[in-house]
Chains A and B, each alone.
Chain A
Amino acid sequence: MTQESWMEGTLAAPLLGAVLALIAGRSAASAIGILTALVGSAASIGLAFAVSRGGSFRYAVGGWGAPLGIDLRVDALAAVMLAMTGVVGLCISVYAVGYFRGKEAEAASSRTNTGPAWLFWPMWLMLWGGMNALYLSGDLFNIYVALEVVGISGIGLIALAGGSAIAAALRYLLLGLAGSLLYIVGVELLYAGYATLDLEQLRQRIDAQPSTWLAAALMTAGLLAKSALFPLHFWLPPAHGHALAPVSAALSALVVKTGFYLLVRLWLDVFAALGTEHVTTFLGALGAAAVLWGGVQALQQERLKMMVAYSTVAQIGYLFMLFPLASMSGSLTGALLLAVSHAMSKAALFMCAGSVLAVYGHDRIQSLQGFGALMPMTAAAFALSSISLIGLPPSGGFAGKWMLLSAALAGGAWWWAAIIVLGGLLTAAYLLRVLAFAFLEPVVASSTRAPRAMELTSLILAGMAIAMNFALLPLHDLLHAGGAR
């Protein structure tokens, strides 16, 4: 299996699965979904190993080569994001099977008379395919179309929940569309300036013209809207909070990473030659503000899913703190590991919220007494993912935060170090506040049980988030083998 065939598998599997699920309809949608999830995640993990052995490579789609055709570029950064999407995507698919078989979904769709629940599968697989296409793409306009695929499938998935999710989906759509248009203006200016859409050629030809700065600013504004960084984050909590559990897991864990990935690709790779100190510091400042603002907001939420959604806003801030520290060694490894373990623990948290909703019928935090006794596995999953999100030692979150922290301290950046540590405390405040309820005696002796697949998947995912602590070394070697700094 050469590198190219692994990549073709990663690219085509979700797309093929999506169209087959669409055609199959209710009867075989979930079966196709699970099969595609297996094949897709296997392909993306295989690709990651191929890159760690053979280093990064380029792939000319349609055989035409860079300026005319579209080139895909697979380097370590892309391989890590693809493997993350694969693994977490597989767990979300398994969880979704249990979730939609549970009666909770049937009741929801009839109550809010949205379309049939099986529509989840084609849209979810297309979302996955769109993300894979985005991480693989090395062409500016191709990234735009992939962003649209991810955007629209996200909107459809949010709307699946009906009720107040419709307004949230509409707000997400408007903001996403405006962001994409700004991005396109930027792409157009760069094409006018350098007559190429390929990232690699652009990186070589880039020089500090005013129109290039304008293009960079517009593209960054568009992508900030899509990755919900602090000032432009207001669409995320209602969208992720009101969506169905597997959907909010997919959005919070995976989709927000696409915006972050693209900004890393732009500012640390393509525009690197432009002298980006004040821009990266600005992004870092926004990240720090997001960490504090998201944390404070999460503390005040009454509903579990809204709290976890606000925690996404905060954790995105953490990732953006990579920018001011990018020049120091080890910071990229740290940020990537943070991104991956955040994806796993955030998906596990939303799955726990889904299981709690299935058993309790609501997710008001105050009245969740004793969910530890009623649902031991979910409580364990919640605890493990909280440990990783807070960044307490035996977890991937800790390893990532440690690398960022030592990069900040080695570079003498006290501000960022303080924010990183303070953010951890804030996260601890709002997550452990909920965990405490697990130890109370259960008030309502609810007889319903969440389907075993749901609880087990969240526990496995949370366990993986902890195990990521030992993934720091292989990730470091992969990054250096893959050629990314």
Chain B
Amino acid sequence: MTPPIIYASAGAAVLCLGLFGFLAARHVLRRILALNVMGSGVFMMLVALAARTDPPDPIPHALVLTGIVVAVCVTALALALLTRMCRDEGSALLPEDRDIE
């Protein structure tokens, strides 16, 4: 049970939790958080994968760095869209989820 295996399994678990949270949640902010959690899960698996060699393989680290920055950009845009939608349409749910309140 070396650290890479522990964190890779934890990453897989976090990824699945995030995916389930994304599919199940209806409030968009919760779905955004779920997607971020899912992203973190993916990155955990990737870095755990890289840690299996003694000088850790730098390529996955670069990939994860790029991934984190892209994730924050998409999250920022998503939050701006959410606040704008909430201001215009009064609800923080997507139109198709609203009517089955």
Interface residues of A (CB under 8 A from B): 68, 141, 145, 148, 151-152, 155-156, 159, 163-164, 166-167, 169-171, 173-174, 177-178, 181, 184-185, 188, 191-192, 197, 234, 238
Contacts and interface: CB of A to CB of B under 8 A. Distances in A.
Interface string B21-38: 010000010011001001
Interface in B56-89: 59-60, 63, 66-67, 70, 73-74, 77-78, 81-82, 84-85, 88-89
Contacts of B78: 170, 173-174, 177
B85 A184 contact: no
A166 B88 contact: yes
7 contacts: A151-B74, A174-B94, A181-B19, A184-B67, A188-B45, A191-B60, A234-B96
Contacts of A156: 77
B15 A148 contact: no
A155 B77 contact: yes
A221 B27 CA distance: 24
Contacts of B60: 188, 191
A148 B70 contact: yes
B31 A174 contact: yes
B95 interface: yes
Contact of B46 (A159, A164, A188, A234): A188
Nearest to A182: B19
B49 interface: yes
A152 B46 contact: no
A185 B63 CA distance: 12
A152 B15 contact: no
A178 B94 contact: no
Nearest to A173: B78
Q: Choose among A155, A167, A185, A191 the residue with the greatest number of B CB atoms under 10 Å from its CB.
A: A167
Contact of A170 (B28, B63, B67): B28
Given A181-B38, A234-B96, 20 more contacts: A68-B59, A148-B74, A155-B81, A156-B77, A159-B84, A166-B88, A167-B89, A167-B94, A170-B85, A173-B81, A174-B22, A174-B28, A177-B35, A178-B38, A181-B35, A181-B39, A185-B42, A188-B42, A188-B45, A191-B60
Contacts of B70: 145, 148
Interface of B: 15, 19, 22, 28, 31-32, 35, 38-39, 42, 45-46, 49, 59-60, 63, 66-67, 70, 73-74, 77-78, 81-82, 84-85, 88-89, 94-96
Q: Choose among A156, A170, A197 the residue with the greatest number of B CB atoms under 10 Å from its CB.
A: A170
3 tightest A-B contacts by CB?
A170-B81, A166-B85, A188-B46
Contacts of A188: 42, 45-46, 49, 60
A163 B88 CA distance: 8
Nearest to B23: A178
A130 to B, nearest CB: 12
Contacts of B94: 167, 170-171, 174
A157 B73 CA distance: 16
Contacts of A164: 95
Contacts of A177: 35, 74, 78
A234 B94 CA distance: 13
A185 B16 CA distance: 11
B15 A185 contact: yes
A169 B81 contact: yes
A185 to B, nearest CB: 6
A132 B39 CA distance: 26
Contacts of A152: 73-74, 77
A84 to B, nearest CB: 27
A145 B81 contact: no
Contacts of A141: 63, 66
Contacts of A174: 22, 28, 31-32, 35, 78, 94
Nearest to A156: B77
A157 to B, nearest CB: 12
A297 to B, nearest CB: 15
A191 B49 contact: yes
A145 to B, nearest CB: 6
A166 B73 CA distance: 17
Contacts of A163: 88
Contact of A173 (B22, B45, B74, B88): B74
A174 to B, nearest CB: 6
A348 B42 CA distance: 41
A367 B1 CA distance: 70
A188 B50 CA distance: 11
